[in-house]
């Protein structure tokens, strides 16, 4: 399943259940989320 916001592949079962990844969920809630793959996720976050 893919994230409904950024279309990235979801791997975590809780994220799959929600339909949204932790980075996108954090952005939606106004929180900063530290991603494991900082460089790649930084590029993703710049799309918002």
**Predicted model pTM:** 0.61
pLDDT for 29: 81
Count of alpha carbons within 13 angstroms of residue 20, beta-carbon side:
10
**11-43 pLDDT tens trace:** 999 999 999 998 899 888 887 766 565 556 556
Cβ atoms of residues 5 and 24 within 8 Å: yes
pLDDT for 42: 59
The residue ranges of every structural domain in the chain are 1-48
């Amino acid at each position: 399943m893919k994230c409904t916001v950024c279309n990235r592949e979801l791997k975590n079962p809780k994220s799959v259940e929600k339909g949204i990844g932790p980075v996108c969920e954090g952005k939606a809630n106004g929180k900063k989320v530290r991603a494991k793959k900082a460089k790649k996720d930084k590029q993703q976050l710049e799309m918002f």
